[in-house]
Chain A
């Protein structure tokens, strides 16, 4: 109770000090582009193609884990359907890119520039192509649709307390899977000239491949795009955590009833957090689909959601840097164990159980890396924790 009052006072006192200026919105964009370029132009070529691929998957997992931190970590709600929002974003973006290419460029081939080309070394062409704008639009559309779905699911179910959101989101994920399996088969790339020409636009959203999955998408996702979005996600979530809204989120997590008594509209804050997290899950889905060049109905199932929850809990609920580190560890762990063949997943499961027992508060607890004693000692900085 004392802590909640403290948090809410912080929330009120922080309000005027919030920076609202052109610079505050602009510098994250610049930083994001810079980090994206750095990863793509310098780090990628330096570490080799397979390592780049892993770095890319790590980036997508960071977006997923950090966005879920907003729900599970900040507001203390428990969502088990994060992958479903990822799948929604992925399918929407895949549809926009695939059928958008068909309608705008006449076929479903890759139309991006160097920044979006996977094997950039042997690519001749401009840095940015017409397809890149389509891809960016598709990513945003995927995020927005996922956010909309998050809002629709969150509004009624976040009124409830405790584990119910978990169960509703679990059920929602399964329903999304079943519905996606019910879509019709896609127009294949080699049917672009025949079937694709006269297919009415309103029919296209129904042709998402069905059980077979939505395949042979042009691949645009490179280290550049992934890390650009990683930076954007991190900046947004970090600012949120330290804003008045963030303090209100944390107060909801610490004690819902006390927060409500202090005048925090609990449901509204929970829904806002959930919608925001869904947006980034949708973005991650778009990156995911256009990385593999395919997306399947089962990608939205609960098994994938579990993977993301594991990252959040392992990182320490509410710790952004913890989620980042956990996303890295969880992505690398199965890869490191790959040579163990069928014993790999058994070891992974055992590692998971041991981690939970040895370190129940996750790697960092609620704190960030820079709050750790060792880190402070080295860099001589104080934290607010």
Chain B
């Protein structure tokens, strides 16, 4: 039972991380109908930029005793999100916007190009290099409380709380603000939205910025949760994490913001329970098997609504 609850806690926390990344995939897909393969690289950038920002702020790397005051961590998070948001904006303007009327496949290839660019530029000696980099100590690595042997650490609380806060903020943004209505309108029908006076290009840029900021937050929280050292940007682990988040978006119904959150948590739980109770050998296979099953039996996603195709 202890084991079960521990797996549940860990799975939920990592699931929340997947959800944050999945949101970026799903928002871009909702509006531009293409899979943004460079999203996982923005996530990796979020991790590495956080490290750089922390070191600029003078936060010592691991091994040194003591942790900085909590607001320093928050500052790193905000700065990393701003940096990645800016990068997302530039990528959209320079690489995707010229292709607005091109076939979607071209945009996809461009996304692969952007992904390759980030991965390879990131491992240049004057960027982040090829060696793993130490994650700075931002939080005391302690147990918050434990019930019946289930350890609930401070990082669990911080990661979950931040992720939930960001997701609530996004919900508010999309469903309660004027900007959010515009985003939904563009996603529903771009042309009509343009006719109604919505600045479509501006909304698309804004969506990219929000998605990239969420990916950066995901990267930051990933670092906080695992700590230790972070592998270089070209490591396949980032792409794999991105793919899992993408699967989460599909399972939740691609284009569906609430579905992405639930999908992320679901994928996190399936992965953790699969590894704990079946075998870790097919860790990645579980996730993709779920994907294929969902697509075969409920292609609109577990939490999506089926749409009738109109001629």
A/B touching: CB–CB < 8 A: yes
Instruction: Report which A residues bind B (CB closer than 8 A).
Output: 72, 78, 156-157, 160-161, 163-164, 166-168, 170-172, 174-175, 178-179, 182, 257, 302-303, 306, 309-310, 313-314, 317, 342-343, 345-346, 348-350, 352-353, 356-357, 360-361
By the criterion CB–CB under 8 Å, are A257 and B106 in contact?
A: no
Contact between B105 and A164, CB atoms less than 8 A apart: no
Expressed in whole angstroms, the Cα–Cα distance for A166 and B34 within the complex equals: 11
B interface: dominant SS: helix
- With beta carbons under 8 angstroms apart, the residue of A167, A348, A353 that contacts B295 is A167
Could you tell me the distance between the alpha carbons of A345 and B233 in the complex, rounded to whole angstroms? 14
A309 contacts B116, C-beta separation under 8 Å = no
A360 to B117, CA, bound (A): 19
| Chain B residues with CB under 8 A of A346 | 116-117, 120-121, 124
Q: Are B110 and A353 in contact (CB under 8 A)?
A: yes
Q: How far is the CB of A351 from chain B (nearest CB, A)?
A: 8
- Of the A-B pairs whose beta carbons lie under 8 Å apart in the complex, a sample of 8, sorted by A's number, is A157-B292, A157-B296, A168-B296, A174-B243, A302-B243, A313-B106, A342-B120, A353-B117
* The 4 residue pairs across chains A and B that have the minimum distance between CB atoms: A360-B102, A171-B288, A352-B113, A349-B116
A72 touches B114 (CB 8 A): no
Q: What residues on B are CB-neighbors of A303 within 8 Å?
A: 239
Chain B residues within 8 Å of A174, by CB: 243, 284-285, 288
Which residues of B are found within 8 Å of A164, using beta-carbon distances?
295, 299
- Chain B proximity of A14: nearest CB distance (Å): 27
Extra pairs beyond A174-B243, A317-B103 (9, CB < 8 Å): A156-B296, A157-B292, A175-B289, A182-B282, A342-B120, A342-B123, A343-B124, A352-B110, A357-B98
Q: Is A167 a contact of B309 with CB atoms below 8 Å?
A: no
Q: Is the CB of B105 within 8 A of A78?
A: yes
**A352, B109: Cβ atoms under 8 Å?**
yes
Contact A306 B112 (CB under 8 A): yes
The docked-state distance in angstroms from the alpha carbon of A353 to that of B90 is 14
Query: Smallest distance from the beta carbon of A258 to chain B beta carbons, Å?
Result: 8
Name the residue on A nearest B234 (C-beta): A345
| CA A349 to CA B311, docked complex, whole Å | 38
Contact yes or no, B114 A309, CB < 8 A: no
Q: Are A350 and B106 in contact (CB under 8 A)?
A: no
Name B residues whose Cβ lies closer than 8 Å to a Cβ of A. Answer: 33, 35, 95, 98-99, 102-103, 105-110, 112-117, 119-121, 123-124, 239, 243, 247, 250, 281-282, 284-285, 288-289, 291-292, 295-296, 299, 309, 311
Task: Enumerate chain A residues within 8 angstroms of B109, measured Cβ to Cβ.
Answer: 309-310, 313-314, 352, 356
Provided the pairs A171-B291, A174-B243, A313-B106 are in contact, do residues A349 and B250 lie with their beta carbons within 8 angstroms? Answer: no
Q: Chain B residues near A161: list those with CB within 8 A.
A: 309
Partner of A168, one of B99, B114, B295: B295
Q: Which residues of A contact B116 (CB under 8 A)?
A: 345-346, 348-349, 352
With beta carbons under 8 angstroms apart, the residue of B114, B239, B243, B281 that contacts A353 is B114
Known: A78-B105, A356-B106. A168 touches B113 (CB 8 A): no
Complex Cα–Cα for A182 and B281 (A) = 8
Query: Chain B contacts of A182 at CB under 8 A?
Result: 281-282
Question: Once the chains bind, are B99 and A257 in contact (CB under 8 Å)?
Answer: no
Interface centre among A156, A157, A348, A349 (most CB of B within 10 A): A349
A352:B295 contact, CB within 8 angstroms = no
**Min CB distance, B34 to chain A, in Å?**
8
B123 neighbours in A (Cβ, 8 Å): 342
Quote the shortest CB–CB distance from B108 to chain A (angstroms). Answer: 8
- Contact indicator B112/A357 (Cβ below 8 Å): no
Q: Which residues of B contact A314 (CB under 8 A)?
A: 109
B105 to chain A: which residues have CB within 8 Å? 72, 78, 309, 313, 317
